[in-house]
Chain A
Amino acid sequence: MTKHEHYEALVVGCGPGGAAAAATLANQGVETLVLERGTDAGSKNVSGGLLYGEKSAPYTLDTLFPNFREEAAERPVGEYYIHNVAGRQVKTFDLHDIHHRDTEWCDAVLRRKMDSWLADRVHEMTRETGGGLLTNVRVNGLLRDGGEIVGVTLDELDPITADVIIAADGVNSELARDAGLMDWEDPEDWFQGVKAVVEMDPEVINERFGIDDDEGVAHLFSGDLFDGVRGGGFLYTNDQTLSVGTVFHLDSISEEQAEPHELLDNLLTHPLLDQWFQGEYEEREYAAKLVPDSKKVAHPSPHRGRLLLVGDAAGQMQAQGPIIKGMNHAVTAGGLAAEAFQEAKTRGDTNAAGELYERKLEEEGVLAKLRPKRYRATRAVSESSIVNKVGNAVLDSPVGSVGLKAAGKFGLLEKSFNSPFVLGMIPDTKMSYAVIPERIGEVMGTRVTDDNTVEPPELDDRIGDLTYDVDDPHIELQDNSFEASGTAVTACPVSAEDFGGGCYREETIKTNGGQEKVVSLDTQPCVECGTCAVVADTHWEHPSGGKGVEYKQG
């Protein structure tokens, strides 16, 4: 085999998972090279924005990176509410208990700022080991020798070998796919997150949310505001912006042929939000990305040979009811993977790193959080539609609403929302996301009388406001028939039915003796969210280093 450039450790991706892995490796003196495809770390990344520092977590960003919270995060979030919405009827629960359970701290974050801050530290730390961090570099596959994974291949650089490869390349990990550890087939395995960053003066935030400079709030939304699509909305306070977004089950978006940007607008224009917007709305950025559902796809054995998967790449994204925990688990996994390599190296057998990593995930209780047994045990029954129908019937009956009222009176509902045990069991059905919250709002809620007059930007303005460095198409349509790929026209967050400026368009072409509906694709406005990798028949890759969309907020 030809001699390649070699490093002891390679870390692909510099999100929270990659940063934690790299810092832990560097602390152990392991020669570490970090490769990031964005023009800046964070320029490709989106999260809703609540980063949890869990008491039970073996690794957190503030311990790995001194001053992280002061310099890279937005506001610490102490208050947490969920609003059950039925039209103008809203019942709000205080989810203080579940939010603070096992929480050492929780900060709102914006990914461009956070990740680029982390990347500077990571570069300094890893440079001392003889490695360092490079941006604008995309890893495009695994390098194998006699079937064994020995390194990676890249768009911009010659192949590189390493003793360990930590794939922290996020959702739609090309490395996980290449290794055969993950596939992008089933919409049920994913959520789609869409988000707007909204400008607001710090003083105005303080006043309208009733907080101080160093305080923040989280508001969650569920009920009938999303046209029956399963999922919910969020609003978090940053230093001088708000993060407002939605997270839906991808299979539900697909089935309902929902337009993600319209669902976001449903939230933005709901009367409940008038108390905060008061008629003013300036959107800084529109963004979207897939989110794995760890309950279904967290890989129980996320390694193969020298390759270890961490974070979203391994499906380690926990949705605990309304609480979304992905970043913190990526950090933990990154730390554990690095630790596992160091231990394996000390034993003189770096090949054992994968097994050790797997064991650590189990021992530290990470896997138990990601794939709760309760969910697995109850899923078959609770997700079947008969049970749901029965549930609906109960809720619709007078007994149901009396039961709800009674439960409400004794705070039982609020309690069960605050129970991780119950949240871990919540089935992924319309009932839990829409019907129950809606009934709660209806039966127990109070009426919002405000009128929300804000007008969020149209889709073409949202696309126009984003920054792109357009390159050759990175997605190819394999099958352009409407049956195979039509869902993307609606599910793609920058496409819409009857909208010509997006990625996916529906077209009617004449065929021999008839007409046929087909789909066409223009990747120019693509935000690389990953949706069409799952819902359409495509050959899907990320763009080359530094190309494609560049988020300024994230």
Chain B
Amino acid sequence: MRSVVLTKGVPDFREGQVSFDEDGHLERGKTPTVMNPNDKYALRAALQTKVRQGGQVSLMSMGPPGYAEILQEGMEDVYADDLYLLSDREMGAADTWATAMTVSTGLEQMEENPDLIFAGFKTADGETGHTGPQTEWCLHINDEMPEYPLITHVIALDVDQDEGVVRTKRLVEGDISEIETVETELPAFIVADPEFEPTYRKAEHRLRHKDFREETQQRASEFAEHLADDSEKEMTDWDRFTMWNQEDLNLDPDFIGLDGSPTIVSGVDPIPKAPSEREAQLVEPDDTEGMEDVLEEIQPYAAGD
């Protein structure tokens, strides 16, 4: 069983990490980049398949060379076996369409066709939710690749290797109130919902999960060390990390990156400032009455009791 999980780096929107300028625009330079949180559900779904059925889980992303760290994060947190980065200046500023084009070619380039391809449900920065399904469409028009029936909003899955099928539970309207069961033949393309919960009801599976954790943690820290090593070594000298550029993938520059992106962003709304968590009342220093109230309020604390 060979699974590939698609992921992307996004600004870390968690409080304390993210930083906005005065107009409410994201300050990319000051905000760390992390693996898109929704993609971890996809990776967990792939891991569950590996734990239960055996096999291998690869993690693939398109982005600048610095994304190697995003892949490292995925390896460390959700135990990916090996990592693929599609990276080239020509691929920059791609919309979901150009990304899908590039990623599907990356999938085709792999030594063996994956049995299962997993994507997360929309990224934390783009919020489109298009890349997964569009990638599936690109595979569909690619004669070199088999058909990958698409199942979205998957919250549980079980692979039956003997029957060659995958059984899933999915949210019908992206809403927890209605769940349907969908089964399809392998290979297949799965978009995991943030409601996805891996289940391990056999001791054997949990033990194997534990083995993987030990193995991967060692592997991930090895890769982190490799990345931190400033010496002459190439990033790709590490045997579980593969980087492909535009030439490797034999992609027409007109169909990828900015040139291959038909999307036009018509405008961006600044993110409104989060409301303060505590109730606050504004008092100006020259407001005597107001200041007196303040004094009265804080007196008991100032007195030390």
Contacts and interface: CB of A to CB of B under 8 A. Distances in A.
Contacts of A134: 203, 206-207, 210
A7 B207 CA distance: 13
Contacts of A132: 203, 207, 210
Contacts of B211: 127
Interface in B185-212: 200-204, 206-207, 210-211
A5 interface: yes
A157 B210 contact: no
A156 B201 contact: yes
Interface string A108-133: 00000000000000010001000110
B222 to A, nearest CB: 21
B105 to A, nearest CB: 42
A424 B204 CA distance: 47
A5 B204 contact: yes
A157 B207 contact: no
Contacts of B207: 127, 131-132, 134
Contacts of B200: 157
B210 A158 contact: no
A134 B200 CA distance: 12
A247 interface: no
Nearest to A156: B201
Contacts, number: 28
A35 to B, nearest CB: 8
B202 A158 contact: yes
Interface in B143-166: none
A426 to B, nearest CB: 45
Tell which of B201, B202, B203, B211 has the most Cβ of chain A within 10 Å: B203
Interface residues of A, number: 14
Interface string A154-169: 0011101000000000
A8 to B, nearest CB: 13
A33 interface: yes
Interface residues of B, number: 9
A35 B203 CA distance: 9
A156 B200 CA distance: 8
- Considering residues B202, B204, B211, which has the most beta carbons from chain A within 10 angstroms of its beta carbon? B204
B112 to A, nearest CB: 30
Contacts of A156: 201
Interface in B202-231: 202-204, 206-207, 210-211
A127 B210 CA distance: 10
Contacts of A160: 203
A132 B200 CA distance: 15
Interface in A398-433: none
Q: Which of B200, B201, B207, B211 has the most CB of A within 10 A?
A: B207
A252 to B, nearest CB: 41
A544 to B, nearest CB: 14
Interface in A294-323: none
Contacts of B201: 156-158
A501 to B, nearest CB: 23
A386 to B, nearest CB: 56
A553 B210 CA distance: 25
B250 to A, nearest CB: 46
Contacts of B204: 5
Contacts of B203: 5, 7, 33, 35, 132, 134, 137, 157, 160
Interface in A1-53: 5, 7, 33, 35
A131 B211 CA distance: 12
A158 B206 CA distance: 12
A7 B202 CA distance: 12
B210 A5 contact: no
Interface string A234-247: 00000000000000
A43 to B, nearest CB: 17
A134 B205 CA distance: 11
A127 B200 CA distance: 18
Nearest to A126: B207
A508 to B, nearest CB: 35
Contacts of A127: 207, 211
Nearest to B202: A5
Nearest to B210: A132
A121 to B, nearest CB: 14
A276 to B, nearest CB: 30
A13 to B, nearest CB: 15
B255 to A, nearest CB: 49
B223 to A, nearest CB: 25
Nearest to A4: B202
Nearest to B209: A134
A124 to B, nearest CB: 10
18 contacts: A5-B202, A5-B203, A35-B203, A123-B210, A127-B207, A131-B207, A132-B207, A134-B203, A134-B206, A134-B207, A137-B206, A156-B201, A157-B200, A157-B201, A157-B202, A158-B201, A158-B202, A160-B203
Interface of B: 200-204, 206-207, 210-211
Given A5-B204, A157-B200, A158-B201, 5 more contacts: A5-B202, A131-B207, A132-B210, A134-B207, A137-B203
Please list the 8 inter-chain residue pairs (A to B) with the smallest Cβ-Cβ separation, ordered nearest first: A132-B207, A158-B201, A134-B206, A157-B201, A5-B202, A33-B203, A157-B203, A5-B203
